Amino acid sequence: MMEKKVVRVLVDATTGPTVSIGQKVKRGQVVGRFPDGSSVTSPVSGIVKACTFDADKHLLCLFIEKESPPGTNSS
């Protein structure tokens, strides 16, 4: 059985993410922005599984489950 890889992506809490939980994203897709206008992009293709808040750093943590390569069985 192959384990799913989950990647954490940090996004500024003030501007927030541009994606929703359950949304499919592609590698390089903008998933959030910082107040200075810079973009945060997804390092992987997959599905946004969760979003948590880090109060100490004032950041949102997006958790993206990496998509399995075509032709592989992830179960």
pLDDT of res. 69: 74
- The token duo for 30 is 């903008």
Q: Is the pLDDT of residue 25 over 70?
A: yes
pLDDT average, residue stretch 17-28: 98
**pTM listed for this prediction:** 0.83
Cβ neighbours around 22 below 10 Å, total: 9
pLDDT of residue 19: 98
pLDDT of residue 30: 98
pLDDT (mean) for 29-48? 96
Range 49-59 average pLDDT: 95
In this prediction, residue 75 carries a pLDDT of 52
Q: Could you give the domains of the chain?
A: 6-66 (2.40.50.100)
Largest CA distance in the chain: 43
